[in-house]
Chains A and B, each alone.
Chain A
Amino acid sequence: MGPIRTIALVGNPNAGKSALFNALTGARQKIANYPGVTVERKAGRLQLLQSGGTSEPVELIDLPGSYSLADTTSPDEEVTRKFVLGELEGEAHPDVIVVVLDAANLEQHLVFAQEVIALGRPTVVALNMVDLAERDGLVLDPEALGHALGVPVVPTVAVRRRGLAELAAAMGEARVDDPGHVDDRRIGHLTLPERRLAAQNIAKAAILSESGAHRLYSGLDRALLNPWLGPLILFALLFVIFQAVFAWATPFADALDAGAGTLTDLARASMPEGIARDFVTEGVIAGVGSVVVFLPQIVILFFFILVMEASGYMARAAFLMDRLMAGVGLSGRSFIPLLSSFACAIPGIMATRSIADPKGRLTTILIAPLMTCSARLPVYLVIIGAVIPNIRVAPFIGLQGLVLFGLYVAGIVGAMAAALLLRRTVMRGKASGFIMELPRYQWPILKDLMIGLWQRAWVFLRRAGTIILTATIVLWLLLTFPRGDEGESQVGASFAGQIAGAMHPAFEPIGFNREMTLALVPAMAAREVAVSSLATTYAIDSEDENRTIEALRGRIADLWGLPTALAFLAWFVFAPQCISTIAVARRETNGWKWPAFMVGYLFALAYIFAGITYWGAIALGL
């Protein structure tokens, strides 16, 4: 037999599989997608002492958590099944399979473990979280369990790095031709209830003593899932998260902005004046920089999301929100992706992967751009500052803040209405149900959090370096060529300007002037570019950004009427003004059909509501 090259890590969700994977491989992990499906492929390297006596690197694959091999109910479980069976295209048949079990939940986890062992591949069982099981009052006999299953069983505590060396040794020695293995293959012919019964018997034999069914932290659920207290706690937590995302991120975002400024200065100083320099400063640095400034917000948001996930609270949040989401034909699982979308729709759309029901997932993707992402904030702040008077309508409530709040609410209401409509038309189907395990509460492990944060940040930065870079270069080209004559506005003379000129008749009925139409074109790269575009068109040239904003506000207050400004705000509530979001939707839905639909219905909504706002405001005499 040759050396072991690939090892697959499988197990039920919540078995502590990812923690074990992190402990075994450290931070050096590769994240990619399995071809053709939006399931994450996580792989890491590990030095393994092989049976020949040599130490060689092996690839360890962390497969998606599964409840069953035979009865798969999600794309994730399908990938696990095919991978383990060696049927996944482009993937080697794993030489060894490691089944991770939650020691405190043997009767459930053994159902799946039996299926894997029955395949007859070299298998090792990691009896994980034995410390928690002990605290739960369970004393287990790993040897008896190994005897019953016919494969080596190694007790581990991934988060304390206990049992890792023993597990690695067992992996290196795993072989098919273990005696006593053959008999157990009959399990493969068992039905699900029979496997369940067998699991109960095996678990019973492996449990030496059990002091009551005491569940650690079970009292927590009494408060967190309390029908009245639970939602209050959840909303308090959401409030803190929002505060953090918008307040804590500012210094870091400013630092990144300053960094981009320094880079621009450096390029200006070291390159000769001309098109090439403009390309670097106005195209590449400004374009990518405008997206990278959102990194602090995304990292902070993901910090909270990862803590909520690792602690087990996320499933409770989904439970609490389920009834509300069911009202519009979605389930509690859609809550987290939509929450993420308040920072940025890109991580939000990626987070829809956890929604098992395909129609529920697609609906969530289609409405995610309606959540007010942070890129809209600069646009909102400039326009509101320009046209809404800074007065108080009630103690502590300013009119400007009220309008801003109203824009957020408009996005949420729009999303809920869209979901309701979509679920009754193109996404019609049996209500996407809500069935999920509420995992045991656990303290999040700092190292796992850090690895998770780094991975999210990296995925985001990689996107900024590819899709977003390309989009900004194309836009820069459109804005730069053909060159305008002396004294003529470059933006007006450019292809983008010509496109805006052609578009303008369509936007006149909803009150948009030429400059506004023009601002919509570069805003496709990122919404907040609308602000700098307006500044350029109104020929406000200032090195100091704050003075630019002030001057722009003055100009808008002079030139735009209130109806026009409100129509512009309404447009930004709905318009899919972001190429990256469309690109992510394409990747996550494997085609252009749904992104095209999304862009179409959102632009239609934006047009209709901007029009209603404009004519409504005029009718009211504003």
Chain B
Amino acid sequence: MLWQRGAMTLDQLPCGSSATITAVAWDMLAPEEALRLRVLGVDEGAKITIAHRGIFGGRDPIAVNLGRMTIALRRVHAAAMQVTKA
């Protein structure tokens, strides 16, 4: 799916909420980080749940549940991912 203006991004989700990643602006991320996220399965179409967030700096980092895995990433990564809430 295409990147849509004004759509919600992953970093805006509160703890405990579930969503599907609809679009990722890969060019906003460093190439090796984009690759790392993709091989972990954080990609378009992935169904995720926000499991934990830090306390400081806009509640960074973020831990998301994806299938049977928990993956930690930063807010800057999450900001490059558009989601639709489940």
- CB contact between A434 and one of B29, B39, B61 (< 8 Å): that residue: B61
Q: Are B72 and A326 in contact (CB under 8 A)?
A: no
- CB contact between A71 and one of B33, B35, B72 (< 8 Å): that residue: B35
> Considering only CB atoms and an 8 Å cut-off, how many residues of chain A contact the other chain?
41
Q: Are B70 and A434 in contact (CB under 8 A)?
A: no
Q: Are B35 and A108 in contact (CB under 8 A)?
A: no
Known: A108-B68, A215-B68. Is A322-B54 also a contact (CB below 8 A)? yes
Q: Are B39 and A71 in contact (CB under 8 A)?
A: yes
A112 to chain B, nearest CB (A): 8
Q: Which of B29, B70, B77 has the most CB of A within 10 A?
A: B70
Which of A164-172, A435-443, A566-574, A590-598 sits within the interface?
Answer: A435-443
Q: Does A472 contact B (CB under 8 A)?
A: no
Q: Are B40 and A105 in contact (CB under 8 A)?
A: no
Q: Does A332 contact B (CB under 8 A)?
A: yes
How far, in whole Å, are A319 and B32 apart by their CA atoms in the complex?
Answer: 20
Q: Are B38 and A319 in contact (CB under 8 A)?
A: no
Q: Are A227 and B72 in contact (CB under 8 A)?
A: no
Known: A326-B57, A326-B74, A434-B74. Is A108-B69 also a contact (CB below 8 A)? yes
A353 to chain B, nearest CB (A): 17
Task: Write out, one digit per residue, whether chain A residues 123-150 have a CB within 8 A of any chain B CB (1) or not (0).
Answer: 0000000000000100000000000000
Q: Are B68 and A322 in contact (CB under 8 A)?
A: no
Q: Does B37 contact A (CB under 8 A)?
A: yes
Q: Does B63 contact A (CB under 8 A)?
A: yes
Q: Does A431 contact B (CB under 8 A)?
A: yes
Q: Does A192 contact B (CB under 8 A)?
A: yes
Q: Are B63 and A225 in contact (CB under 8 A)?
A: yes
Known: A104-B68, A430-B30, A437-B71. Is A323-B35 also a contact (CB below 8 A)? no
Cβ–Cβ < 8 Å partners of B39 in chain A: 67-68, 71, 73, 111, 192
Q: Does A107 contact B (CB under 8 A)?
A: yes
Q: Does A396 contact B (CB under 8 A)?
A: no
How far, in whole Å, are A437 and B42 apart by their CA atoms in the complex?
Answer: 11
A222 to chain B, nearest CB (A): 8
Q: Does B19 contact A (CB under 8 A)?
A: no
How far, in whole Å, are A438 and B44 apart by their CA atoms in the complex?
Answer: 21
Cβ–Cβ < 8 Å partners of B59 in chain A: 227
Q: Does B51 contact A (CB under 8 A)?
A: yes
Task: Write out, one digit per residue, whether chain B residues 42-64 have a CB within 8 A of any chain A CB (1) or not (0).
Answer: 01110000011111110111010
How far, in whole Å, are A67 and B68 apart by their CA atoms in the complex?
Answer: 15
Known: A228-B55, A323-B54. Is A435-B63 also a contact (CB below 8 A)? no
Task: Write out, one digit per residue, whether chain A residues 346-390 have a CB within 8 A of any chain B CB (1) or not (0).
Answer: 000000000011000000000000000000000000000000000
Q: Are A67 and B40 in contact (CB under 8 A)?
A: yes
Cβ–Cβ < 8 Å partners of A326 in chain B: 57, 60, 74
Q: Are A438 and B32 in contact (CB under 8 A)?
A: no
Cβ–Cβ < 8 Å partners of B55 in chain A: 227-228, 231, 323
| Chain B, residue nearest A68 (CB) | B39
Q: Are B68 and A192 in contact (CB under 8 A)?
A: no
Cβ–Cβ < 8 Å partners of A107 in chain B: 67-68
Q: Are B60 and A435 in contact (CB under 8 A)?
A: no
Residue pairs across A and B with CB atoms within 8 Å: the count is: 113
Q: Does A221 contact B (CB under 8 A)?
A: yes
A130 to chain B, nearest CB (A): 14
Cβ–Cβ < 8 Å partners of B33 in chain A: 433, 435
- CB contact between A435 and one of B44, B56, B57, B71 (< 8 Å): that residue: B71
> Considering only CB atoms and an 8 Å cut-off, how many residues of chain B contact the other chain?
35
Q: Are B73 and A434 in contact (CB under 8 A)?
A: yes
B83 to chain A, nearest CB (A): 17
B25 to chain A, nearest CB (A): 15
Cβ–Cβ < 8 Å partners of B44 in chain A: 193
B19 to chain A, nearest CB (A): 16
Q: Are A438 and B43 in contact (CB under 8 A)?
A: no
How far, in whole Å, are A434 and B56 apart by their CA atoms in the complex?
Answer: 15
Q: Are A192 and B38 in contact (CB under 8 A)?
A: yes
* 10 additional A-B residue pairs with CB within 8 Å, beyond A108-B68, A323-B55, A434-B61: A67-B36, A68-B39, A213-B68, A221-B52, A225-B51, A225-B52, A319-B52, A435-B40, A438-B69, A438-B71
Cβ–Cβ < 8 Å partners of A433 in chain B: 29-30, 33, 73-74, 76-77
Cβ–Cβ < 8 Å partners of B51 in chain A: 221, 225
Q: Are A105 and B35 in contact (CB under 8 A)?
A: no
How far, in whole Å, are A215 and B51 apart by their CA atoms in the complex?
Answer: 13
Task: Write out, one digit per residue, whether chain A residues 413-445 have a CB within 8 A of any chain B CB (1) or not (0).
Answer: 000000000000000001101111110000000
Q: Does A88 contact B (CB under 8 A)?
A: no
Q: Does A320 contact B (CB under 8 A)?
A: yes
Cβ–Cβ < 8 Å partners of B76 in chain A: 431, 433
Q: Are B74 and A436 in contact (CB under 8 A)?
A: no
Q: Does A473 contact B (CB under 8 A)?
A: no
Known: A193-B43, A225-B52, A323-B55. Is A438-B70 also a contact (CB below 8 A)? yes
Q: Are A323 and B60 in contact (CB under 8 A)?
A: yes
| Chain B, residue nearest A327 (CB) | B57
A345 to chain B, nearest CB (A): 27
Known: A67-B40, A221-B52. Is A319-B63 also a contact (CB below 8 A)? yes
A518 to chain B, nearest CB (A): 47
B79 to chain A, nearest CB (A): 12
Q: Does A196 contact B (CB under 8 A)?
A: yes
Known: A196-B43, A433-B76. Is A438-B63 also a contact (CB below 8 A)? yes
Q: Are B38 and A71 in contact (CB under 8 A)?
A: yes
How far, in whole Å, are A357 and B53 apart by their CA atoms in the complex?
Answer: 23
Q: Are B56 and A323 in contact (CB under 8 A)?
A: yes
Q: Are B70 and A108 in contact (CB under 8 A)?
A: no
Q: Does A315 contact B (CB under 8 A)?
A: yes
Q: Are B73 and A435 in contact (CB under 8 A)?
A: yes
Cβ–Cβ < 8 Å partners of A68 in chain B: 39
Q: Are B61 and A322 in contact (CB under 8 A)?
A: yes
A394 to chain B, nearest CB (A): 30
How far, in whole Å, are A430 and B31 apart by their CA atoms in the complex?
Answer: 11
Query: 9 tightest CB-CB pairs across the interface, nearest first?
Result: A227-B55, A438-B70, A67-B39, A225-B52, A68-B39, A430-B30, A73-B36, A433-B33, A323-B56
Q: Are B61 and A332 in contact (CB under 8 A)?
A: yes
How far, in whole Å, are A315 and B38 apart by their CA atoms in the complex?
Answer: 20
A218 to chain B, nearest CB (A): 9
